[in-house]
């Protein structure tokens, strides 16, 4: 596998640490390790930084001067995209969708949104249900009319270019496990826009590493989520010349922990945030890693990981905690 053939802008802090979580392991009765992709740098880090290395590489190769992307109001991806644009002297236009309908000041203006503004992004907010692909195309046309050269990045950076970042992560994690003498039985990660899980699945399949990946869904129902991940994993592996190595059985999502919906938190999410923070000093976010940890905790306590070594991929997002101050104050 030769990732060097793809254009890449290198700015992530890699490799990210792979750390044992002894106190949380004892609490859950499993051997739990944390892959710290909250430590990738770029305005607080997170999983999108890996994707953006390949997306920015392609954008720069195409001579783009403006990055355009979209996400939910408290999107971690948008924050990291705005930071990448600033880092390379590019303009950034972002479209935020209020998927939750939350009108609290902290949700609309604090957390990631505050950072988006600090980073100099041009922000436009739309209501839930807006055709975001159409909005991206309209924004790109506006840039062209103004004499600029746009580069559109899909929500979450989740296409076959961005997913190469998690092919690279799969290789990095396998090498770290070999160095530690660690036999990983399962990787658990949040799965939403599909690119992180798809990249991991593709990278592990193409490299021959026999490690199953469980995605804990944060938005879509199981069938829809698995279809999205599978299709993107096949496309990503195809860019590496081995689409046939991704089989349907490699894609597994558990979407029983979404709760009331995307971006909506409940007491079990808060308990997951508290447990991670108070056993390991680990800060998770309410939307992605909090729900993934909620699922991991429930499954561990049901015996699903008995006798296993599990790696939890921490995809970042603690900046979003500040947008949920009222909800968290009421439940902490």
- The H-or-E segment that residue 60 falls in is helix 48-61
Q: Which residue in 127, 155, 102 sits closest to 265, CA to CA?
A: 102
Active site annotation includes 193: no
Ordered by where they begin, the domains of the chain are 18-47+159-330 (3.40.50.1100), 60-153 (3.40.50.1100)
The label of the residue with tokens 């992709």 reads 37
The label of the residue with tokens 């996400």 reads 71
Which residues make Cβ contacts (< 8 Å) with residue 112, sequence separation at least 6? 73, 74, 75, 76, 78, 79, 319, 320, 323
- Per-residue pLDDT of 210-242, as tens digits, reads 899 999 999 999 999 999 999 999 999 999 999
3-state class (DSSP) for residue 256: coil
Q: What is the pTM of this model?
A: 0.97
Residues in the chain: 332
DSSP class of 215: E
- Per-residue pLDDT of 123-178, as tens digits, reads 999 999 999 999 999 999 999 999 999 999 999 999 999 999 999 999 999 999 99
- The H-or-E segment that residue 300 falls in is helix 289-301
pLDDT at 210: 87
- The H-or-E segment that residue 273 falls in is helix 267-280
Phi, psi of 264 (to 5 degrees): -105, 130
pLDDT at 250: 98
Cα–Cα dist 107/98, whole Å: 10
- Per-residue pLDDT of 92-129, as tens digits, reads 999 999 999 999 999 999 999 999 999 999 999 999 99
pLDDT at 153: 98
DSSP-assigned beta bridge partners for residue 67: 92, 151
């Amino acid at each position: 596998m030769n990732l060097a053939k793809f254009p890449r802008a290198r700015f992530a802090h890699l490799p990210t640490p792979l750390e044992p979580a002894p106190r949380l392991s004892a609490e859950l009765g499993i051997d739990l390790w944390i892959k710290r992709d909250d430590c990738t740098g770029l305005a607080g880090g997170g999983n999108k930084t890996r994707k953006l290395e390949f997306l920015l590489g392609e954008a720069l190769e195409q001579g783009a001067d403006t990055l355009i992307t979209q996400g939910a109001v408290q999107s971690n991806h948008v924050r990291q995209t705005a930071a990448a644009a600033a880092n390379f002297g590019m303009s950034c236009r972002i479209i935020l969708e209020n998927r939750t309908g939350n009108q609290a000041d902290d949700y609309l203006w604090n957390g990631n949104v505050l950072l988006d503004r600090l980073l100099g992004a041009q922000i436009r907010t739309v209501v839930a249900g807006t055709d975001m692909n159409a909005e991206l195309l309209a924004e790109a046309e506006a840039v062209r009319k103004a004499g600029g050269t746009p580069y559109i990045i899909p929500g979450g950076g989740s296409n076959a270019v961005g997913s190469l970042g998690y092919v690279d992560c799969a290789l990095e994690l396998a090498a770290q496990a070999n160095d530690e003498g660690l036999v990983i039985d399962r990787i658990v990660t949040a799965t939403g826009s599909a690119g992180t899980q798809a990249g991991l699945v593709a990278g592990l399949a193409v490299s021959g590493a026999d490690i199953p990946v469980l995605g804990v869904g944060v938005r879509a129902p199981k069938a829809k989520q698995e279809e999205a991940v599978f299709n993107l994993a096949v496309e990503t592996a195809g860019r590496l010349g081995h689409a046939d190595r991704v089989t349907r059985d490699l894609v597994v999502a558990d979407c029983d922990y979404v709760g009331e919906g995307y971006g909506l938190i409940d007491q079990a999410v808060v308990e997951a945030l508290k447990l991670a923070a108070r056993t390991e000093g680990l800060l998770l976010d309410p939307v992605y890693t909090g729900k993934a940890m909620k699922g991991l905790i429930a499954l561990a306590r049901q015996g699903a990981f008995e006798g296993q070594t599990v790696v939890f991929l921490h995809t970042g997002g603690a900046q979003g905690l500040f947008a949920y101050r009222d909800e968290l104050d009421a439940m902490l």
